C-alpha cells in the first residue's frame, strides 16, 4: 500500500558521519561535497598532490596544538580544499575551481551564515548511490510512539497500578540524579503492556513478555521510502539549542547538518499483515487465567492475551473474521494508525506552541518567531482537516519521541495517578535538568523541557522534523492548506536565503 511522506520542515536523519571541512567547499551560496579521492588525483595531475597533503598535515598539527577558539576558527577556514590549494599556489586554486564539477559528489543550497560556514557538518543518511531516502524504521518509530500513547490511555486501573507499583519498587532507595537505565526499564514495562503478547513455558508458572517474536508491531510493516538525488532534496542548515533562559541568541553547540528541505515528497509502503493476524486468531485454543492463547506442540502457551492487545492496538476484532473483507480491514487499521498519529502529534504541536508563547513572554523578539507562529498555525489547520503528521528525525525533541508527554498532560481523574508518578520520577532523577543547574529543581510541565533545537536561517527560525503522511488522495480543502504551506515555506525559508 503505497503512501506519500512530505516534509513540512527541515528533516535530518544522520548516518553517524561528520564531514570535515576539507570534504566540502561553499561557493556562490552552494554547499559542494567534494570527492576527496578525485580531488587529490586532480591536484596530482598538476604535480601538487604531495604539497597539498603537506599543507593539510601542517594545519592539522597546528589545530591540535591550540586552545584559542579564534585561532581554531581561522585554521578551520584554511582547511577548505580550495584554500589548501591556494596556500600551495594561487594559480592551482584557480585551476581546481575551474574543474570543480569533475570532483563534485553533489551540489546543494547552503543556508549557512559566513561566520559558521567553516564547521564540521553532520551528514544526511543516503543509500549506496548517495541518494536520499527516509528509512522505514524512522517512520515506524514515530507510529510506534503514537500507538503506545493510544494504548496507555486504555489501560485498566489494575494495569496502571501495576506500572506505578513497579516504578516505586525500582526507585526505592535510589539516590537523586540521572538514571537512564531506570528510564529504559520503565519504557520496557510499558512496551510489554502495549505490544508484547505473553509466553508461558510448559514447566513454568510465570508468563514472560520479553520475547520479540510475540511483538504485535511485527505485523505493521513500514518500508524505506523512495530515493531522490541530493540535488533535488537536500540543503545545509544550522541548528541551535534555544533555551528559555537564552531565547534571543541560542546556544551554538551543534554542528551544521545536511537536511531534507521542506516540501519534498517521497513514496513509501505501509502495510498491516491482516492475514497473519487472523491466522493466529483462528489458532487460539487455550485460555491461561482467562487470557486466550495458543498451546504449541511442546506444551508451551504463546500469544497470551493476543485478542485484547490487538483490539487495543489496531482497533481490530480477531473474532470478526471475514476473508472477503481483508482489504477493508487493512484500510481500517491504517486509518486507525494515522488517526492515532493525528491525536498524539496534535498534543506535541500544542506543547511546542505553548513553549513558543513562553519564549516570547521571556523577551524573545516577535520578528524572530514570526515564521514559527505562522508555521504552527498552518500545521494546526492541516491536522484539524484530517491530515496525519508526525515529528521525527534528529532534533524532533523529547515530546515527539516518548509517551511521557501524554502522562504529564493527562488531567483525567482516572489517569492522574500516572501523571503524579511521572512528575515524581522526573523530579527525583532530574530529567531535563540542565547540567550546570544549581539548587532545587522546580519542574514546570508546561515548558518541560526548557530548551528546543531550532533551525536558524538568516533571521528566520524553523522547527525540526515535521512531516505529513498521506494515505488517501487529499481533499480540496487539504490541497489548499498544503499549497499555503508550500508557498509560505518557499517565501520565508528558501527564497529569502
Residue (of 423, 270, 255) closest to 341 by Cα position = 270
User: What cell does 282 get?
Assistant: 483462528
pLDDT for 438 equals: 60
Burial class (CB in 10 A: 0-12, 13-18, 19+), 156: exposed
Helix (H) or strand (E) holding 381: helix 370-384
Mean pLDDT of all residues in 369-373: 79
Question: CB-based contacts of 250: which residues, under 8 Å, 6+ apart?
Answer: 240, 241, 242, 243, 454, 456
pLDDT for 497 equals: 43
SS3 (DSSP) at 65: coil
- Rounded Cα distance, 497 and 495, in Å: 5
pLDDT band for 496, please (50, 70, 90 cuts): very low
User: What cell does 137 get?
Assistant: 524504521
pLDDT for 490 equals: 59
* Number of residues assigned to the chain: 497
Bigger pLDDT: 105 vs 445: 105
Local structure of residue 215 (DSSP, 8 states): B
pLDDT band for 444, please (50, 70, 90 cuts): low
3-state SS, 229-270, equals EHHHHEEEEEEEEEEHHHCCCCECCCCCEEEECCCCEEEEEE
pLDDT band for 429, please (50, 70, 90 cuts): low
Q: Using an 8 Å Cβ cutoff, are 228 and 126 in contact?
A: no
Q: Which range among 4-13, 78-87, 242-251 shows the weakest confidence by mean pLDDT?
A: 242-251
- Rounded Cα distance, 49 and 39, in Å: 9
- Rounded Cα distance, 347 and 353, in Å: 10
Mean pLDDT of all residues in 345-349: 90
pLDDT band for 235, please (50, 70, 90 cuts): very high
pLDDT for 246 equals: 64
Residue 46 has pLDDT above 70, yes or no: yes
pLDDT for 108 equals: 94
Which strands, in side-by-side order, build the sheet including 466-470? 220-222, 265-272, 2-7, 466-470, 388-391
pLDDT for 322 equals: 80
pTM: 0.88
pLDDT for 181 equals: 66
Half-sphere exposure of 262 (CA within 13 A, CB side): 25
Q: Using an 8 Å Cβ cutoff, are 496 and 33 in contact?
A: no
Indicate left, alpha or beta for 260 from its phi (over 0: left) and psi (-120 to 50: alpha): beta
- Chain-centre distance of CA 218, in angstroms? 20
pLDDT band for 457, please (50, 70, 90 cuts): low
Q: Which residues of 387-422 are buried (b: 16+ CB within 10 A; e: fewer)?
A: bbbbbbbbbbbbbbbbbbbbbbbbeeeebeebbebb
Look over the chain and give the mean of its residue pLDDT values, rounded to a whole number. Answer: 82
Mean pLDDT of all residues in 277-292: 85
Local structure of residue 297 (DSSP, 8 states): T
pLDDT for 229 equals: 96
Q: Using an 8 Å Cβ cutoff, are 208 and 300 in contact?
A: no
What single string gives the DSSP state of each residue in 160-180? HHHHHHHHHHHHTTPPSS--H
Residue 451 has pLDDT above 90, yes or no: no
pLDDT for 176 equals: 58
Question: CB-based contacts of 404: which residues, under 8 Å, 6+ apart?
Answer: 398, 422
Phi and psi at 268, nearest 5°, equal -150, 165
Highest mean pLDDT among 111-125, 256-270, 281-295, 320-334: 256-270
pLDDT by residue (tens digit) across 143-187?
Answer: 999 999 899 888 888 888 887 787 777 777 666 555 556 666 777
- Rounded Cα distance, 56 and 80, in Å: 10
Residue 339 has pLDDT above 90, yes or no: yes
Q: Using an 8 Å Cβ cutoff, are 369 and 359 in contact?
A: yes
pLDDT by residue (tens digit) across 404-424?
Answer: 666 666 566 665 667 777 777
pLDDT for 353 equals: 87
Residue 324 has pLDDT above 50, yes or no: yes
Mean pLDDT of all residues in 323-346: 92
Mean pLDDT of all residues in 451-462: 69
Local structure of residue 494 (DSSP, 8 states): I
- Rounded Cα distance, 224 and 269, in Å: 7
Residue 239 has pLDDT above 90, yes or no: no
pLDDT for 446 equals: 67
Q: Using an 8 Å Cβ cutoff, are 102 and 38 in contact?
A: yes
Residue 9 has pLDDT above 60, yes or no: yes
Q: Where are the beta strands (DSSP E) in 110-219?
A: 121-124, 131-132, 198-200
- Rounded Cα distance, 143 and 146, in Å: 5
Bigger pLDDT: 397 vs 106: 106
Amino acid at each position: 500500500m503505497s503512501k506519500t511522506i512530505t516534509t513540512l520542515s527541515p528533516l535530518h536523519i544522520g548516518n553517524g558521519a561528520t564531514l570535515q571541512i576539507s570534504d566540502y567547499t561553499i561557493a556562490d551560496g552552494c554547499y559542494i561535497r567534494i570527492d576527496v579521492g578525485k580531488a587529490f588525483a586532480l591536484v596530482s595531475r598538476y604535480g601538487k598532490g604531495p604539497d597539498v597533503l603537506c599543507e593539510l598535515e601542517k594545519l592539522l598539527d597546528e589545530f591540535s596544538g591550540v586552545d584559542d577558539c579564534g585561532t581554531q576558527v581561522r585554521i578551520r577556514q584554511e582547511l577548505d580544499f580550495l584554500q589548501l590549494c591556494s596556500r600551495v599556489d594561487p594559480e592551482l586554486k584557480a585551476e581546481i575551481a575551474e574543474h570543480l564539477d569533475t570532483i563534485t559528489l553533489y551540489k546543494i543550497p547552503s543556508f549557512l551564515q559566513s561566520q559558521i560556514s567553516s564547521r564540521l557538518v553532520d551528514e544526511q543518511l543516503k543509500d549506496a548511490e548517495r541518494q536520499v531516502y527516509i528509512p522505514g524504521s524512522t517512520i515506524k518509530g514515530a507510529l510506534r510512539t503514537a500507538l503506545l500513547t493510544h494504548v496507555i490511555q486504555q489501560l485498566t486501573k489494575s494495569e496502571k497500578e501495576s506500572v506505578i507499583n513497579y516504578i516505586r519498587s525500582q526507585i526505592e532507595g535510589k539516590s537523586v540524579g540521572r538514571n537512564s537505565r531506570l528510564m529504559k526499564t520503565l519504557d520496557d514495562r510499558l512496551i510489554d503492556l502495549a505490544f508484547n503478547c505473553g509466553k508461558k513455558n510448559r514447566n513454568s508458572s510465570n508468563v514472560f513478555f520479553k520475547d520479540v517474536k510475540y511483538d504485535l508491531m511485527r505485523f505493521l510493516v513500514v518500508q524505506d521510502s523512495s530515493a531522490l538525488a541530493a540535488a533535488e532534496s537536500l540543503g545545509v542548515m544550522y541548528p541551535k539549542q534555544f533555551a528559555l533562559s537564552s531565547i534571543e541568541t541560542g546556544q551554538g553547540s551543534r554542528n551544521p547538518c545536511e537536511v531534507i528541505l521542506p516540501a519534498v515528497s517521497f513514496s513509501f509502503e505501509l502495510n498491516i499483515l491482516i492475514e497473519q493476524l487472523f491466522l493466529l486468531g483462528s489458532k487460539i485454543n487455550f485460555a491461561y487465567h482467562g487470557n486466550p492463547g495458543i498451546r504449541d506442540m511442546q506444551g508451551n502457551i504463546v500469544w497470551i492475551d493476543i485478542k485484547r492487545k490487538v483490539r487495543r492496538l489496531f482497533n481490530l476484532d480477531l473474532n470478526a473474521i471475514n476473508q472477503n473483507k481483508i482489504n477493508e480491514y487493512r484500510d481500517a487499521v491504517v486509518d486507525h494508525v494515522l488517526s492515532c498519529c493525528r491525536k498524539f502529534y496534535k498534543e506535541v504541536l500544542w506543547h511546542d506552541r505553548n513553549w513558543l508563547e513562553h519564549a516570547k513572554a521571556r523577551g524573545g523578539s516577535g520578528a524572530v518567531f514570526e515564521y514559527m507562529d505562522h508555521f504552527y498555525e498552518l500545521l494546526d489547520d492541516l491536522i484539524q482537516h484530517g491530515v496525519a503528521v508526525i515529528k521525527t528525525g534528529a532534533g524532533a525533541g523529547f515530546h515527539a519521541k516518548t509517551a511521557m508527554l501524554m502522562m504529564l498532560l493527562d488531567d483525567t481523574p482516572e489517569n492522574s495517578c500516572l501523571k503524579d508518578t511521572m512528575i515524581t520520577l522526573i523530579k527525583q532523577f532530574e530529567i531535563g535538568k540542565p547540567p550546570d543547574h544549581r539548587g532545587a529543581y522546580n519542574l514546570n510541565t508546561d515548558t518541560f523541557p526548557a530548551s528546543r533545537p531550532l533551525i536558524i536561517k538568516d533571521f528566520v527560525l524553523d522547527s525540526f522534523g515535521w512531516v505529513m503522511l498521506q494515505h488517501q488522495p487529499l481533499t480540496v480543502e487539504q490541497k489548499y492548506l498544503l499549497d499555503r504551506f508550500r508557498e509560505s515555506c518557499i517565501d520565508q525559508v528558501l527564497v529569502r536565503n
